[in-house]
Structure formats: C-alpha cells, structure tokens
Amino acid sequence: MDTFILIEIVAKIVFVFAVCLGVVPLLVWFERRGSAWIQGRVGPNRVGPFGLIQPVADVAKFFFKEFWTPANANKWYYHLAPIFALVAPMAAMTIIPFGSHLVIGDYIINLQVARVDSGVLFILAFAGLEVYPIIIAGWSSNNKYSILGALRGASQIISYEISMGLALLSILLVYGTFDLHKMVEWQNQRFFGFLPAWGVLVNPIGALIFWVSTFAETNRLPFDLPEGDSEIVAGYHLEYGAMKFALFFMAEYVAMIMASALMCTLFFGGYNLLPGMHALVDLIVSVHGFAEAGRQNATAILQFLSFFLKVSFFMVVMIWVRWTLPRFRFDQVVNLGWKILFPLALCNVVIVSIVMYSMN
C-alpha cells in the first residue's frame, strides 16, 4: 500500500479517537457543572481552573482503586462487557464524515475514516451492538439488581431500535442513498435560495422520532431505566468498580457523541457550513490570497468546526434534557415506544414514500 495512504488512514483514526476521547472529560465536566448551575449549586470547582481538571482527577482515582471481581461472576463475560460498551460506539464513529476533503499536493483526503457505501447499515449494526454490553454485564455479574437492569435495558433498546430504524428508513427515502457522505452532500442544496436543505426540514417527524429513540438507545435520562439508581441501585453496572466502571461511564459519553454526530449528519446538514460561514471562507481566502486548493482546505477546516459546533449543541441538549425530565416509569417507556413512536414512524415512512413517489 502507498505509504501516504497508510499515514492518512492512521492520522484520521488517531484524530477521530483523540477528539472523541478528548471531548469526554469536557462533557463530564459540563454535565456536572451544568447540572449544578441548573439546580442552583456550584459543582466541582476546586481542581484546576473552573474545576476543569476534575474528570482527570476522577480517572486517576479510578486507576488506583482495587480491581475487584465478584466471586460468582462469569469472569470472561464480566470483563468483556465494559470493553464491548466502549468499542461499539467508538467503531461507529469511524463512518461519520466530519468534513468534505482536504487537498495536500496531489492527494485528496476524505475526512471520514472509513467510507462505507452502506453507512447506515453499519450504524444500525453498531447501534444493535449497544444492547450486548448491558445484557452481558447484567447477566455475568450474578446480581439480581444487575439482571433486572439488563432485562429493562434489553427490552427498552430493542423496542426503540424499531422506531429508530423506521425513522432512518424515512430519511433514506428522501436521500436515496446509504452513503453518509452523499447524504451530507444532498443537504448542501438550498430551498428557495436561502433555507439550508437540512433533513429536519424535509422530515421533521422522522428527526423527532430519531432523536427520542437515540435517547433510549444511549440510556440517557429520561430513559435510564437500566441504571435506575433509585430502584435498582446502578442496574447493569452495579458490580463494576474502578476502571471497569470508568469504561462504562466513558462509553455512555462516547455513545452520546456518536448519537449527536449521527443526528447532526442525518438531519442537520452534517459538516455543511453553518449559515453565514461562507462569508467567513471568502474573507479568509481574500485575506491570504489562497488558490483553489487553499480555499478547499479552509472550507474543510471550517466545515469541521461547524460539524463540531452542531454536535456540541446536541450534546448540550442531551445534558439539558437529562436535568429537566425525571425518569419515566417502565410502562410509560414501553407505551411510548410501541404505541406512539412505532405507529408514528410507520405512518411517517408511508407518507414520505408517497410524497417521494409522486414527486419523481
């Protein structure tokens, strides 16, 4: 293989993972301080400026805790689950396009780790994997609370996967492609000359259903039944301590990043520039006198920036919702999934297909 391509791929992988894992502590910090601000508290503010080093201190603490395994746990699966939990959303990150392409010399670098033609299927496969760590962790720890959490998690994730799949289907009908890169390019057009053609404007119900389902998929409040601290202690990860717990904890945030990135890519224009950023590109190009390649590179960097801003917005919304809504009761969760979202998603698919058919 060409050395340049090898370096390119490695650099992209390192970049994506570094950004992901680098955002996690910030997100944890924001979750804690943000919740404090909402509740009229102060939050962690002692370690480092504004308490920003607090997550690092927490991880350091986790490293020094005892590596403890319950006596009757199934050791192999018990240790497999946290790894699984972190790897599944991380792997799904590889197909998210975070910019169009960079031009270096004669080379064109696609800003996407793996350009998979069937990107959406890849996502569904990895979203499906997210239920396994919960089941494996709950079952293998040999604890009744864990198994209850695992059962709840399994039923919840599987029910919401259906509405999530249908919402995806409805937006696939609009784009007519499985490739995430092409989807983002589709959203680059404009309606009536000024409105960005984001998926959410074409298919708002699909976007809403998808967004609600991702909450259930990532086990965030108001759908955190598998954890349900007030009822089943900590649910599926009750028997995990030290770094193994930290892995579950990190996995939750990586899954959040993944869900937000997906929401952004599918429904909110992906890496397309935010309104007004085109003027910024023109400005930068005119100031530095860039040629075509320079213009493309400047655009790509700003595209990454807009993608990052959009994804951050969704992550903030996830945190915001978490500190607004209380946990649903289990029957409410199942009713919402099967009696409201599922028929709604189905109707949406039918309507979108009729509209798309009549338009072509």
Partner 1 sequence: MGTVNVSREYTLKEKIYVIALFQGMILTLKRFIDGFFFRKHYTIMYPEQKRNYSQNFRGMHFISVDENKTENCTACYLCQTVCPAECITIVAEERNPATNSYGVRKEKRPLSFDIEALKCCFCGFCEEACPMDAIKLSRNYELSVTSRQEAVYDLKHLKREVKGRG
What phi, psi does 127 have (nearest 5°)? -65, -35
- By CB under 8 A, residue 335 contacts partner 1: no
| Residues 16/113, Cβ–Cβ less than 8 Å | yes
Nearer to partner 1 among residue 187 and residue 203 (C-beta): 203
Which of 275, 320, 343, 347 is the binder for partner 1 (CB under 8 A)?
320
Shortest CB 48 distance to partner 1, Å: 17
User: What three-state secondary structure class fits 27?
Assistant: helix
How many residues make contact with partner 1 (CB under 8 A)? 13
- By CB under 8 A, residue 68 contacts partner 1: no
Nearer to partner 1 among residue 11 and residue 340 (C-beta): 340
Q: Which residues pair with 109 in a beta bridge?
A: 102
HSE-up (13 A, CA, CB side) for residue 186: 22
Residue with tokens 């319950």: 70
| Residues 263/211, Cβ–Cβ less than 8 Å | yes
Nearest to 122 by CA among 84, 164, 163, 88: 88
- By CB under 8 A, residue 325 contacts partner 1: yes
Which one of the spans 157-165, 176-184, 302-310, 320-328 is the region binding partner 1 (CB under 8 A)? 320-328
Which one of the spans 232-240, 258-266, 303-311, 322-330 is the region binding partner 1 (CB under 8 A)? 322-330
- By CB under 8 A, residue 42 contacts partner 1: yes
Q: How far is CA 193 from CA 267, 292, 336, in A?
A: 19, 24, 38
- By CB under 8 A, residue 193 contacts partner 1: no
Which of 323, 330, 338, 342 is the binder for partner 1 (CB under 8 A)?
323
Shortest CB 34 distance to partner 1, Å: 7
HSE-up (13 A, CA, CB side) for residue 30: 15
The alpha carbon dihedral of 341, 342, 344, 349 has a sign of: positive
Q: Are strands 190-191 and 101-104 parallel, antiparallel or unpaired?
A: unpaired
Shortest CB 108 distance to partner 1, Å: 42
| Residues 142/70, Cβ–Cβ less than 8 Å | yes
Which of 191, 324, 343, 354 is the binder for partner 1 (CB under 8 A)?
324
Tokens, residue 10: 């490695």
Nearer to partner 1 among residue 26 and residue 103 (C-beta): 26
* Contact map string, positions 22 to 41, toward partner 1, x by CB under 8 A: ------------x-xxxxxx
Shortest CB 38 distance to partner 1, Å: 5
HSE-up (13 A, CA, CB side) for residue 281: 23
Nearer to partner 1 among residue 32 and residue 237 (C-beta): 32
Which of 197, 321, 351, 355 is the binder for partner 1 (CB under 8 A)?
321
Q: Which helix (H) or strand (E) holds 60?
A: helix 54-64
Nearer to partner 1 among residue 127 and residue 209 (C-beta): 209
Nearer to partner 1 among residue 119 and residue 222 (C-beta): 222
Site residues, partner 1 (CB under 8 A):
34, 36-42, 320-321, 323-325
